[in-house]
Structure 1
Amino acid sequence: MITCVDMKRLVLGLCGLLVLGALALGGAYIWAEQGIRRAVAPPGAPPVEFAVVKGTTGKALGPQLVLRGLISDARLWRWHLRRRGAFAPKAGRHLVSPSMTMSEISAALESPPLPDDVPFVVIEGWRLRDTDEALAAAKLIKPGAYLEAASHPERFTAPFPLPKGTLEGYLYPETYGVIPGEFDVEDLVQRQLNTFAERFYLPRKEALSRAGRSLHDVVVMASMLEREEPLPTQRAVVSGILWKRIDKGFPLGVDATSRYELEEWNDRKAFLKRLRDTSDPWNTRHRKGLPPGPIGSPTVASLEAALEPQANEFWYYLHDAQRRLHPSRNAEEHEALRRKYNVY
C-alpha cells in the first residue's frame, strides 16, 4: 500500500528527474548555440579555397568543412542549418576562413563563387617531376617550385600520417581548376592531398586498419600497379602476384621502378643501364621487397587493387604487344609465354 509519504517521495523524485532533464537539455542548447557562434580560429586566419560541388546538400557540406578545418563539428553545422532555415550554397569555389562563424561561412557559400578558372590536368601515374614540368610549361610556376613544395610534407595537413621526404604518391591525379596569375603551388598540393583523403583514405579507413599493411606500403604498391597494368579491372590480379612475391621473399621484377629516377621516363638507353645496376635501390629485379617509395601518383582503382589484392595461383605475368595481361603459374610457363609473345 502506497502511503502519502511514499507518494510525496515519488512526486519529488519525478520532479527531480524533470529538472535534471531540463538542465541537460538546456546545457545542450547552450553548448550548441555557443558552438555555432564560435569560430575555430582567432581573427585574422588566412582564407582557404573551399569548393561546393554541384548538387551537394547543405548537410553534406558539414563533414567536408570539418575536414578542411573550417568548423569543429558537423553536428553543430546541422543544428545551425536547422535554425537558419533555407540554405542554397552556390556551386563553385569560395574563399572561407576558419576565423568565420558558421553564419558567416554559410553566407559566404551562398555568395557568387570565385571567377571561372582553367583546367590543369595531373595525369595518372605522373611523378612529382612530371607535374612540375607541366606546371612550368603552362607558366604557372618557375621550374622546381612544385617539387620544392611537395618535398616539405610538414607544411601540409591530412587526416592520415604524411610520409617523410616527399609527398610522391599522395598527390591525387585529377583535373584541378586554377586561375592564371593567382596560382598558389602550395594550395594545389593541399587540394591534391584533400582529394586523396576524400576519394580513397576516408571511405576506406576501416579497411586499411584491417589490411595488415601500412597506408604507405599500399600507396607504393598502387603506384606500381598504375604503371604496370593498363586495365584497372586487371590490377587486383597483378596486385595478388606482387604481394605474394613480397611476402615470400622474391624480387618483384617490376621494371617501372628502374625508370623512376630517369629524367625522361621513356629513355630506353638510360633505363637498360639502370636495369644492369644491381646496387640501384630502385632495381626490383635484384632487390627484394618494395622499392624505396612510390613511383608516381596512383588512382583510386590502383589504390583499391593494392588494398584488396585478388588471391590467385600465379607467380609471374607479362604483357604482349597489345598490352594484354598473361599471368603464369611458374617459371616454365612464364618463359614459354616470353617466347610466344617475344617479350624480353
Structure 2
Amino acid sequence: MKRILLVLLVLVVLAAGGVAGTFFWAESQVKQAAAPPGAPTVEFTVSKGVTGRGLGPQLASQGLIRDARLWRWHLFRRGSFAPKAGRHAVSPSMTMAEIATALEGNPIPDDVPFVIVEGWRLRDTDAALVTAGLIKPGAYIAAASQPARFTAPFTLPRATLEGYLYPETYRVVPGAFKVEELIQRQLDTFTERFYAPQKAAIERSGRSLHEVVVMASMLEREEPVPAQRPLVAGILWKRVDKGFPLGVDATSRYELAEWNDRLAFLQRLRDTSDPWNSRHRKGLPPGPIGAPSVESLQAALAPKPSEFWYYLHDAERRLHPSRNAEEHEALRRKYNVY
C-alpha cells in the first residue's frame, strides 16, 4: 500500500511540474513578438461584432502573431478585452499585449483624398469642396478671407489668403471635416515646401514674399511647362521693373465666375478701369490670381535673365519668346495668335 501511495505522489508531482512548465512556457511565448524590431507597420481591420478569440486566426494569418492558441491564452490571462471596429496600425514587432492594447485604441480615421489643383482660385476650391459634400457654398472663401485666424512664420496678407494656400492632395475625413483645419494645413504646406527652405533667398531677392506669390500665381496660368517658367518670369519682372504693362490676360479672368467664359473675358479686356486688366495697368495686379505650385514660386523667386521682352504660345502651347515688338508681331502672324 505504501508503495502505491508513493507512485501516486510521484505522478501528482510530475503532473504539477508539467502544468507549471506549460504555464511558464506560454507566458514566455506571448511576450515574444512575431518579428524582430523594426518590422513595418500594417493596417489590421477589426470587423464589427468579431470576438477577441475570433481575431486570433486573422492575426496569425497576417503574420502579426505566432499562434492563435497563444492569443487565446493571452486573452484568458488578460481578462477583459474590447477591440474597436475599424482599421488599426500594428506591427509584427509588437508583443501580443501591445497588439491587444492597439486594437482597443481609436481606429484610423476613414479619410479620403481631396485634390486641390495648381492654379485654382479660392472660389474653385470652394466649389470642389461643395461638390464633395464637405462644406456649404462660400464657407471656404469666408474662412480664407479672415487671415488673422491662422498662423504662419511670415506676415499674412490682411484681406485674403489667395495664393498662400498650397495646392496638393490632402486626406480629409468627411464626417469630421473642418474647413479651418484644411486651410491651416495648406498654409503649413506652403511654409514647408517653399517659405522655410527659401527664406534667405527671399530676403536677398529684393522682392517681398507677397510680390513673389503674385508673380508665381500668374506663371502658373501663363506657362504650362515648369522648366520654361523662369524665362517667362524674367520677362515679366523686366516689364514690372521698367514700368510696362504685363499683358497677362489671365489676370482679367481672375474675377470671372467661370474661368473659361470667353464673352465675359473679352468684356473685361475692354474695361480699362478694371484694376485686374494688366494689358492697360502697369505693375503687378492687386493680388495673386490662384494657388501656385512650388515650381512657379521658385521661378518667380529666381527668374532667368534674357534678351526677350515678349512671348506667346502656339496652338500646341509651345513657348515662343521675342526680343521686340516687330518679332512678336511676326510670330503672331506665323502662329495665328491674336
- Shift in alpha-carbon separation, 1:294–1:113, aligned structure 2, 3 A: farther
Give 1:115 deviation, angstroms. 1.7
Cα distance in structure 1, aligned partners of 2:205 and 2:275: 26
> In percent, how many aligned pairs have the same letter?
77
Give 1:328 deviation, angstroms. 0.2
Cα distance in structure 1, aligned partners of 2:117 and 2:129: 12
Select 2:255's aligned residue among 261, 266, 277. Answer: 261
Residue 314 of structure 1 corresponds to 308
2:180 counterpart of 1:186: yes
Give 1:326 deviation, angstroms. 0.3
TM-score norm. by structure 2 comes to: 0.69
Residue 321 of structure 2 corresponds to 327
Give 1:252 deviation, angstroms. 0.2
SS of 1:306's equivalent? helix
Select 1:275's aligned residue among 262, 269, 275. Answer: 269
Residue 154 of structure 2 corresponds to 160
Cα distance in structure 2, aligned partners of 1:112 and 1:220: 43
User: Which amino acid counterpart does residue 323 of structure 2 have in structure 1?
Assistant: R
Instruction: Provide, for residues 206-247 of structure 1, a one-character-per-residue CA deviation record: whole Å limited to 9, x for no partner.
Output: 001100000000000000000000000000000000000000
SS of 2:266's equivalent? helix
Equivalent pairs, count: 240
- Shift in alpha-carbon separation, 1:150–1:255, aligned structure 2, 3 A: same
Give 1:251 deviation, angstroms. 0.2
- Shift in alpha-carbon separation, 1:206–1:329, aligned structure 2, 3 A: same
Instruction: Provide, for residues 44-79 of structure 1, a one-character-per-residue CA deviation record: whole Å limited to 9, x for no partner.
Output: xxxxxxxxxx99xxxxxxxxxxxxxxxxxxxxxxxx
Instruction: Provide, for residues 147-196 of structure 1, a one-character-per-residue CA deviation record: whole Å limited to 9, x for no partner.
Output: 00000000000011101100000000000000111000000000000000
Cα distance in structure 2, aligned partners of 1:213 and 1:229: 21
Superposed, 1:128-207 pairs within 5 Å as 128-207=122-201
User: Which amino acid counterpart does residue 266 of structure 1 have in structure 2?
Assistant: N
Give 1:116 deviation, angstroms. 3.5
2:241 counterpart of 1:247: yes
Cα distance in structure 1, aligned partners of 2:170 and 2:300: 25
SS of 1:230's equivalent? coil
User: Which amino acid counterpart does residue 173 of structure 2 have in structure 1?
Assistant: I
Residue 73 of structure 2 corresponds to none
Residue 46 of structure 2 corresponds to none
Cα distance in structure 2, aligned partners of 1:162 and 1:146: 17
Give 1:113 deviation, angstroms. 7.0
Residue 123 of structure 1 corresponds to 117
User: Can you give the 5+ residue segments of structure 2 that lack an aligned partner in the other structure?
Assistant: 1-39, 42-86, 90-101
Cα distance in structure 2, aligned partners of 1:343 and 1:336: 10
Runs of 4+ displaced beyond 4 Å: none
Give the structure with higher Rg (CA): 2
User: Which amino acid counterpart does residue 138 of structure 2 have in structure 1?
Assistant: G
2:210 counterpart of 1:216: yes
SS of 2:312's equivalent? strand
Q: Which moved more, 1:195-204 or 1:114-123?
A: 114-123
SS of 2:137's equivalent? coil
Give 1:114 deviation, angstroms. 3.5
